[in-house]
Structures are given as C-alpha cells and as structure tokens.
Amino acid sequence: MTCFGHAGRNIFIAACSLIAASVLLIPLSAGAHGIAGKRFFPTTFAVDDPFVSDEFSVLYNFMKMPGDAGGPTVQTQSLSVEYSKRITSGFGLAVAETYLDLHTLGDGSVSGFGNLEANAKYQFFTSAEHETIMSFGVSDEIGHTGSAKVGAEAFSIISPALSFGKGFGDLPDSIGYLRPFAITGIIGPNFPTRGTTSTPNNQGGVDVTDNPTTLTWAFTVQYSLMYYESFVKDLGLGTPFNRMVAVVEFPNETCLNGDCKNQTTSTINPGLAWIGKDKEFGLAAQIPLNTRSGKDIGVFALFHLFLDDLFPTGIGRPVIH
C-alpha cells in the first residue's frame, strides 16, 4: 500500500487526530438514529443509507482498479468526509467531499480533491410494525469543483434514487433466529449534464469521449447481534459482540449507453459494524466480482457520529421542529 502525498498525509493525519479526539471527548447519551420500530439500521460503507438524520462520517477506502484501455493498474486511496443535516424530521441535506491519491505503476502518484457532492433526501415512509423505511433523494456531483488530475469531471452528474430498509422482526417467534436479518438497498440512474467530452490529442486533433448514463443498483444484507440479544434471546455475548452488526454489501453500477453499454462494475463487501450509543465503527473488505471491477481485494474503514444522539437539543435536531 503506497502512502498519500505530503498534502494527503497531512489531511489523513488530521482526520485521524480528529477521530481520536472525538472518541475521547464524546459523552455517553441515549437514543439512536436510523430506527424503524425495534430495528436500528447502521450506516454502511458503499451503499447509501435509506434514512434521514444528523450525522458526520469519515470513510477510508483502499483499492486497485484496472487502468483505462488496458493500461496499468491504478492503486487508489480515498478519504471521504460527509455531513448530513435534517431540515425537518423527514427531509435532510448532505454535503460530501473526497480526497484521493492515485498511484499508477511506473507513472508515479497524483493527489487532489474530487468533485463536491450535494444531496437532498426525503424519508416518505416509516413503518415501526414492519421495520421499514423508504426514501427518495437526488444527489449532484458538482462539476468543476474538484481536480481534473484525479478524475474530477468538468460536468455534473445528477442522480435521483429510491432507497429502502426492511427488518425481519415481524417474522414469527418460531423462526426467531431469522428476525435479526435486515436488508437495505438503492436504485437510480446517474445522468451526466454533458453527453461527450472533447480532449486535444498529441496529433493536433481532438478525441471525443462519451459520458454515459449509468444505473446504480445496490443492496445490503445485515444480521444484527444487537437485535438478537435484545429481542430474540439473551446469549450473554457481552462487549463488544452485543453491539455488532454483520453486513454484506452488493454495490453494482451498470452502463446504459455509449461504448460501455451493458457493462457492470460489481463488488461484494463483507464487514462488521460496531454500534455505540452515539458513534459507529466499521471495517469491510472489498472483493471484485468481475474483471471490470478489478482483481485485488480492497478495504473500507468507517467512523461515524450520530449528531442527533450527541446533541439532541442543539445541532442534532431538525431546523424546523
């Protein structure tokens, strides 16, 4: 694993220092977010949450991806920061930024920020009885806000999406061992605001590249030891196992037009999340499922603060309440 460049190392060290300081200073408080009835849905790694909340996340990702047009493998490290804020109890906004370090074998490294992403989400359905959440959101990866050398595009990408979460706590007691299971998912297209990109080539001409529309379709399968201990049977697991949720993600993105039409990138991301009263830690592997997605295993590391639990009467409550 290569290291970030000088600026990237400073950002990474600062983020780690912030995480460490936050963990030491966080007071214990009651409550939780991402809840439908008895079900708590944890924040996951590569699949967006189905709920609206006040939260702050830091996500680290390391992976290797095939180079363009059969070129050498690109080793990628990224550090993403996201802040989400509820405007009402069911409507929220979020902003996210990612710092990337790309290392190409034999060609050195480049580092920089990706495009800023803004998101609006409306949680339009919640069923406590059936442990179900549904929401609709629109995100905008804002063109020209990042560095072109790390692949930030000059155009925007607009992504409307439907997302859901469903717990199986409404299954009968006779199969209680299945009740801790839950699924979440998201589906939606990604529309570029520019159909093609023109780039000058070494022959004095111009290369034209399609900017395809893609479809994101992703889901997770979860098994909550927290749920089992609290609502099925107390096994006396103790700390830290009684606060854990096993998560397996299946993120997919399919190209809908252009030269890549019908091609899909897919990974399977098995991991564990530990849920505190107002924070979450997670670690997951990233395993490619086809050659388009790479051939090497990557890793995710997640740190998450539930601001609605930390500051329930301050910055953690909706603007309009």
Report the pLDDT value the prediction gives residue 199, as an integer from 0 to 100. Answer: 79
Per-domain boundaries in the chain: 6-310
State the Cα angle at 90 between 87 and 95, rounded to 5°.
50
Which option is the CATH number for 6-310: 1.10.10.10, 2.60.40.10, 3.60.15.10, 2.40.160.40?
2.40.160.40
Report the pLDDT value the prediction gives residue 70, as an integer from 0 to 100. Answer: 62
Report the pLDDT value the prediction gives residue 108, as an integer from 0 to 100. Answer: 84
Report the pLDDT value the prediction gives residue 9, as an integer from 0 to 100. Answer: 44
Question: Rounded to an integer, what is the distance from CA 164 to the centroid of its chain?
Answer: 15
Nearest to 297 by CA among 106, 99, 65: 65
Structure-derived torsion over alpha carbons of residues 205, 210, 211, 213, reported in degrees to the nearest 10: 170
**What is the token pair recorded at 198?**
């023109």
Cα separation values, 297 from 21, 76, 267, 270, Å: 30, 12, 10, 11
Q: How far apart are CA 321 and CA 76, in angstroms?
A: 42
Query: What's the pTM value of the predicted model, to 2 decimals?
Result: 0.86
| CB atoms inside a 10 Å sphere around CB 297 | 13
Pairing, β 55-65 against β 298-306: antiparallel
Nearest to 263 by CA among 254, 272, 252: 254
Report the pLDDT value the prediction gives residue 255, as an integer from 0 to 100. Answer: 97
Look at the chain and count its residues: 321
Q: How far apart are CA 35 and CA 42, in angstroms?
A: 9
**What is the token pair recorded at 27?**
């007071």
Helices (H) and strands (E) in the chain, counts: 3, 17
Report the pLDDT value the prediction gives residue 284, as an integer from 0 to 100. Answer: 98
Query: Are 315 and 87 within 8 A, CB to CB?
Result: no
Question: Which regions in the chain score pLDDT beneath 50?
Answer: 1-32
